[in-house]
């Protein structure tokens, strides 16, 4: 296929990752990078062999050679830039989290028209293990789904060597803390492997900030959560049980599970070595556990998968792995979790 001519807005860590992937891919050609720090844009362009560097997003969007853009800047600026990109006739891949709230995503959907647009929250579902899990769930062998569960708790390691980025735990800049930084991956993954058939109805949640012992792990003034627990009641008798934490005063503990009335899946979401998927099958003699997949998924491959899927989606005129509509569902759940945590009561998912 003809490579997609790409522009990247944002020359930070993730923007550089997109440029590196595009430069190494046969499906993409990186044409330009933009950053409000013009000198940084020029430096990054030179590092990745990109011909043009701009000091503003507007200048990059005016470049007629660029077909598609990646929005790799903090979440607070993504919605307006997505609207500007659609107005300029560009396809758009939005970094995660998709936006600050669901209304911003609705505005993107209304402005998209016939252009291709999606969100990077799909990264983990591009991995081979996710395809295996999706196919098994779709086969119906688990029966009627009852509980979809994620518990991903990371104990605090050694203090960071470099100053933590101020946006990472900022509601104003990033829309939140761990819930939007990693929760968008978790929710996208769980909703995606179950075929986007989950219909969330109510959320009951609690969030906690950084323990005082670990004050050095966050930038001064950080206000967002580092630990979240939520129970999402859905239609058809299904419950989504969710917990995610970082810098937690406890041991690391991670588990993903999809439980039905005829069996269950046990799996792992992030890339890793010697990953496995187990199918726990209900039989007349009890539960029998079967290893149905095992393999290595190197870290970093998820970045390639999400960008190349976007390129193929453009050429095939289809939605990317996570469309704006699917990203909206993730954001609706996210908004409800925050709303419930703030009022200490269950809230409807609007």
Calculate mean pLDDT across residues 244-259. Answer: 95
pLDDT value for 167: 82
Query: Which pLDDT belongs to residue 35?
Result: 96
Q: Give the model confidence (pLDDT) of 93-140 as tens digits.
A: 999 999 999 999 999 999 999 999 999 999 999 999 999 999 999 999
Q: What's the pLDDT tens digit per position in 336-346? A: 999 999 999 99
Tell me the average pLDDT across 241-250.
Answer: 95
- For the chain, state the CA radius of gyration: 20
| Whether residue 175 has pLDDT greater than 90 | no
pLDDT digits (tens, 9 = 90+) for 292-347: 999 999 999 999 999 999 999 999 999 999 999 999 999 999 999 999 999 999 99
Q: What does residue 257 show for φ and ψ, rounded to 5 degrees? A: -150, 140
Across 72-86, 212-226, 253-267, 304-318, least confident range? 212-226
Give the start-end residues of each E strand in the chain. 4-9, 28-34, 52-54, 68-71, 91-94, 117-119, 145-155, 200-208, 227-234, 239-248, 253-260, 263-267, 272-283, 286-297, 347-348
What is the total residue count of the chain?
350
- Domain 4-122+304-321 sits in CATH 3.40.50.720: yes
Q: What is the mean pLDDT of the chain?
A: 96
pLDDT of residue 164: 83
From CA 19, how far away is CA 13, in angstroms rounded? 10
**Phi/psi of residue 206, each to 5°?**
-140, 140
Paired with 267 in beta bridges are: 256
For residue 235, is pLDDT > 90?
yes
**Digit-coded pLDDT (tens) for 129-173:** 999 999 999 999 999 999 999 999 999 989 888 878 888 888 888
Residue carrying the six token digits 């627990």: 229
Beta-sheet pairing, 272-283 with 227-234? unpaired
Partnered with residue 256 across adjacent β-strands are 150, 267
Whose CA is closest to 89, among 119, 67, 118, 120? 67
Q: Do 124-297+330-348 and 4-122+304-321 fall under one CATH topology?
A: no
Q: Is pLDDT above 90 for 220?
A: no
pLDDT in tens, 27-54: 999 999 999 999 999 999 999 999 999 9
Cα separation, 312 vs 186, whole angstroms: 24
Instruction: Reply yes or no on domain 124-297+330-348 having CATH 3.50.50.60.
Output: no
- Kindly give the pairing relationship between strand 263-267 and strand 253-260: antiparallel
What is the share, in percent, of the chain residues with pLDDT greater than 90?
91
- Per domain, the residue ranges of the chain are 4-122+304-321, 124-297+330-348
């Amino acid at each position: 296929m003809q490579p997609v001519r790409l522009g990247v807005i944002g020359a930070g860590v993730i923007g550089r990752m997109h440029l590196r992937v595009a430069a190494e891919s046969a499906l993409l050609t990186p044409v330009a990078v933009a950053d409000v720090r013009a000198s940084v844009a020029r430096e990054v362009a030179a590092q990745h062999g990109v011909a043009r560097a701009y000091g503003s997003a507007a200048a990059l969007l005016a470049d007629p050679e660029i077909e598609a853009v990646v929005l790799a800047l903090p979440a607070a600026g993504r919605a307006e830039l997505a609207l500007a990109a659609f107005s300029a006739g560009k396809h758009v891949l939005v970094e995660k989290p998709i936006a600050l709230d669901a209304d911003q995503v609705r505005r993107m959907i209304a402005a998209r028209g016939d252009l291709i647009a999606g969100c990077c929250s799909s990264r983990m579902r591009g991995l081979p293990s996710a395809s295996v899990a999706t196919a098994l769930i779709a086969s119906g062998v688990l029966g009627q789904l009852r509980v979809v569960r994620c518990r991903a708790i990371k104990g605090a390691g050694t203090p960071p060597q470099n100053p933590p980025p101020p946006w990472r735990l900022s509601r104003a800049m990033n829309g939140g803390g761990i819930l939007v930084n990693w929760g968008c991956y978790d929710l996208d993954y769980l909703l995606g492997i179950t075929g986007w058939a989950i219909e969330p109805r109510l959320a009951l949640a609690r969030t906690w900030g950084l323990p005082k012992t670990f004050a050095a792990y966050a930038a001064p003034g950080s206000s967002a959560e580092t630990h979240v627990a939520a129970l999402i009641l859905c239609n058809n008798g299904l419950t989504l049980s969710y917990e995610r934490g970082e810098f937690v005063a406890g041991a690391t503990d991670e588990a993903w599970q999809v439980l039905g009335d005829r069996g269950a899946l046990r799996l792992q979401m992030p890339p890793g070595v010697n990953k496995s998927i187990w199918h726990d099958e209900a039989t007349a003699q009890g539960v029998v556990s079967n290893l149905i997949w095992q393999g290595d998924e190197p870290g970093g491959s998820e970045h390639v998968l999400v960008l190349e899927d976007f390129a193929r989606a453009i050429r095939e005129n289809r939605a990317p792995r996570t469309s704006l509509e699917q990203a909206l569902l993730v954001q609706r759940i996210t908004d409800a979790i925050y709303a419930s945590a703030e009022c200490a009561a269950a809230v409807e998912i609007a």
